[in-house]
Chains A and B, each alone.
Chain A
Amino acid sequence: MQTTIFTFTVLLLAFIGYYMGRSRAVATVSGDVRKLHSLPRHYGYFVALWCGVPALVLCVLWMLFEPYIVNTLVLSGVPNIDPDASSAVIARILSDVKFLAANGVGRGADDPVMVAAAEHYTHLKTVGTASLAVAIIAFSILGLVIGSRRVGADLKARNQVEGLIRWVLLASSVIAILTTIGIVGSLLFEAIRFFGKVPFTDFLFGLEWSPQIALRKDQVASQGSFGAVPIFAGTMLISFIALCVAVPVGLLSAIYMSEYATPKVRAIGKPMLEILAGIPTVVYGFFAALVVAPTIRGFGEAWGLDVSSESALAAGLVMGIMIIPFVSSLSDDVIRAVPQALRDGSYALGGTKSETVTQVILPAALPGIVGGVMLAASRAIGETMIVVMAAGLTANLTANPLQAVTTATVQMVTLLVGDQEFDSPKTLAAFALGLVLFCVTLCLNVVALRVVAKYREKYD
């Protein structure tokens, strides 16, 4: 609530600053704007930024450091804290104080020390908010004054505004990059914790996966084994089946759409095909689990085969359908990028359409097609929802597509869903799986993008 009021006040002041800067600049040259170094609006922006940016920076700094300062001050008012108390104990005391301050009742309501601390907390909060309000308004007005005093015909307002824009853009990029680094870092950090409990080689080369861990010392349970080979074998099996569906269907439909279809058919057919990419994967998931899997099981029974009701084949087939648009639309783009001159050259020599496609167009477009297939593969490997619903949970090391296998994504979901403690190997294993998965898809993407980029150079 207060933040909203602060923001609006600063915005209003900045708005006023804009018009002040603008009119001041025009006034200094008595209306002849050509004498100004920059356009009048640049002076407006200049003053508005002087007014808004320092206040904004102050506000952000406050949000970052206020909790820390307040907590420290409150804790210093609580005398009987064991100096060696763990961070969890301190956090509990703090949350008790905050609860007490907010509700007046709760744990420690009869402890005078705690009540005093709660009052201290409320007091600090009130003072803090008030001083922040004053500081922000003061900063804005100060900025307004400094900014508008600097306005003059010689002020290079345009350059300064442009310079600031550069910083804003830089900051946005830094946020995105830092987030990525943060995610990868936390994945790496947790995975390292896991590898502290389970040896790296056991994880990467172990053939058995059953992540059961005894919760109590006296519980009858296995130690748990974390051999990831069956999981990645399952992932690869399902992805392989998916690619076996998606590559031929996607590529052939791309060839049809780009070479054979009349513009009318193409105008309808291509968007229809791309709708496939817009279907939520969860819908594919229950399609796989409720329609495809029982059908395959029925077929299998008719042929006397033993088909699991959560077969790799069902999940793979549906995943294959899901990634058809990736293959087809990327292939379509590269096929259409093959110069018309090459087609003409082949036709003029008496090549038929299919000869031209197989002998000239596909070889020329091959690197791009390979890139598209690899992007589709990394999508298949990382796909979660379909396999959660349609693939099994048991880690089978098999190449038989009619049996149930599990994938890395399914295991990560099952390991992390529900109440979990975050220091057992069972939960940490999810991070290790995630790290390996991340590395695999990253490599695939890098290779795919390089292949596509190399191809692009060819005709430009």
Chain B
Amino acid sequence: MTSAPLALAERTAGRPAGRARRLDPRTKAILVLASSLVVMAPGGTPFIPAAIVLGVLLALSEGAWARAVLLPLTSAAVAAAAYLLPMALPYPVIGFVAAFAAYLLRFAAVGGVALHLLRTTTPTELTAALRAARIPRAITTSAAVMLRFLPTIATEARAVRDAMRLRGVGGWAGMLRHPVLSIERFTVPLIASSLRVAEDLSAAALLRGLGSATRPTAMHPPRLGVADLAAVGLVAALVTATVLW
């Protein structure tokens, strides 16, 4: 259910030339929230195609060709499972799976828009955007730390899994035979090593003023531009098309 939030990319940063043409992170976040609010609401099904179109256009705008193709294909497959499968196999179990697929379809539609945000926004940019959106300091500071830490802890988790395998305490069989012990042997080293890494980072961050009472500035303050205006126009057009159709 968790759509990979770990994938927040750093790769687009450091290309100031592209900065003007890219969407402001605040706009990207609003696009996600708006499509989520509409598509996930009761009666939101008609807006699914519009959200998918939006997701494809955003993918094209960042040059993610694979996603631009896969998003509509996946959605079509999920839609088929939701609406055609029960006709072929009218059993309650299949029915449940189909109802779940109908939900996954909404999820995929919103996910396409969300992936654009996650793939093209660095944690630094997202934090600056949250600050620019006047979200309270307590939330922006802890969110910045969380975003910084997700990839680090994911790396730790993989290392702990490796260590478990070499000690012969990992794997499927162990998980089924001793579920609680397996959970213990995964989480305890993960937490211990993550906190160890976190100690250095917290110390360095505190000394460099993170979370202090001073209002932080940004080296490149986020700015709304033509691209953001275009995005708003596009969304308006998609909504109009859906309603009129």
Pair from one complex: no
Report A's interface with B, CB cutoff 8 A: none
